[in-house]
């Protein structure tokens, strides 16, 4: 089996699948924070020592849902990928301090994997099935 030929046939669809999975992750996370007990999430944010925790929690939900939708649809692909990667790095440093709490290492590393996927999106830009390509 010629793997290069196989991947060439899939090349058109793999970025779309990647965007669906990556964007879907963020939409799910934001929606869960919103519908699964927003006050509990706001309390968690407050426990991290963040002032105006309810406002920050609302901003987090908006970033995750709107950023996820932008990734899903391929809107401003490079910019949103970079923005979301930056967001995840900041969240990682605040919410998953593995250097102080060893049980946070897994979440920290998972988030670094997300940053890798987002940076790949930023580097490769739009594909055929995006709002970016439709709006050009």
pLDDT tens column, 6-25: 888 888 888 899 999 999 99
Of the candidates 42, 14, 29, the residue with the CA atom closest to the CA atom of residue 114 = 29
Q: Is pLDDT of 1 > 70?
A: no
d(CA 136, CA 129): 12
Q: Which helix (DSSP H) or strand (DSSP E) does residue 97 occupy? A: none
Q: What is the pTM of this model?
A: 0.91
A 10 A CB-CB count for 21 gives 12
Q: Which residue has the higher pLDDT, 2 or 121?
A: 121
d(CA 61, CA 121): 21
Q: What are the pLDDT digits (tens) for 117-133?
A: 999 999 988 888 899 88
d(CA 136, CA 132): 6
């Amino acid at each position: 089996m010629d793997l290069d030929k196989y991947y060439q046939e899939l090349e058109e669809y793999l970025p779309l699948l990647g965007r669906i999975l990556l964007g879907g992750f963020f939409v799910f996370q934001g929606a869960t924070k919103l519908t699964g007990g927003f006050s509990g999430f706001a309390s968690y944010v407050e426990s991290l020592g963040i002032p105006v925790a309810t406002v920050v929690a609302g901003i987090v939900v908006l970033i995750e849902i709107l950023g996820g939708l932008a990734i899903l649809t391929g809107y401003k692909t490079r910019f949103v990928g970079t923005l979301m990667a930056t967001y995840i790095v900041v969240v990682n440093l605040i919410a998953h301090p593995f250097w102080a709490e060893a049980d946070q290492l897994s979440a920290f590393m998972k988030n670094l994997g997300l940053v890798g996927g987002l940076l790949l999106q930023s580097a490769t830009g739009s594909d055929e099935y995006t709002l970016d390509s439709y709006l050009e």
